[in-house]
Amino acid sequence: MSTRMALINPTDITGLILAGGQSRRFNYRNKGLIDFKQKPMIAHVIDRIAPHVGLIAISCNTNIPQYQTLCETYRTSLKKSSKWGSYLADSLGSQLKGPLAGINRHLPEINTPYCFICSCDMPLIPNDIVTILVNTMTDAHQQACHIMDAQGCHQLAILVETTTAIAALNQLTKVSIMKTGKPSERINHSIKHWLKQMSSLGIVYTGPVEQMTSINTPEQLAHMELSDR
């Protein structure tokens, strides 16, 4: 008979929001700062996950003053410490690309045992997504738990053990160098490759598709604003 892992408290979790994408289809505007229903997309994400984590961190590579102001506003309104709402620019020299570059840059700076990772462009992310992942992770005794769609594709809503996840990232970097022979040449590792370095479990989210949708085009933004009424 298996026993449940110790309860993961919200104070044990940092919510890491990735806001470092290039946003080509938005004319290179930072998606996290684009308004969705008269509020920046990233603000919707913060509002939905903040009650379920102890700290918020933002990984970004542009518009840092705007993110600084946003974090300061939230710290004041929520009466949080100076550690809440940290932000770091992505590392240009990372061996990893895409979302993993932002994760690799920020994860070693996180001091909580667990980290919830999501994207800034999911303004309708479920309010209880962190709780869903926490319950599944503790029941299944996993080092990571992630959301998948009905087709089995990975979505950017992940809960990880911080130290284990850092070790897995380091392993991917070593594999890149061993295969290419040069630190400057990268292999395009994916989130899926990273999760395979840990004991991880994917769960299918059965709620409305829009809640787990990343907004990638102005047309998609307009459509979701009209549909979410």
Q: How far apart are CA 212 and CA 143, in angstroms?
A: 22
Q: How far apart are CA 39 and CA 41, in angstroms?
A: 6
Average pLDDT, integer, range 75-79: 89
Q: How far apart are CA 213 and CA 147, in angstroms?
A: 12
Q: What is the pLDDT of residues 7-53, one digit of tens each?
A: 899 999 999 999 976 666 677 678 899 999 999 999 999 999 999 99
Residues 6+ apart with CB under 8 A from 147: 129, 133, 154, 155, 157, 158, 202, 203, 204, 205, 212
Which superfamily, per CATH, for 11-227?
Spore Coat Polysaccharide Biosynthesis Protein SpsA; Chain A (3.90.550.10)
Sign, CA dihedral 80-41-63-65, equals negative
Average pLDDT, integer, range 63-67: 89
Q: What is the pLDDT of residues 180-205, one digit of tens each?
A: 555 544 555 788 889 999 999 999 99
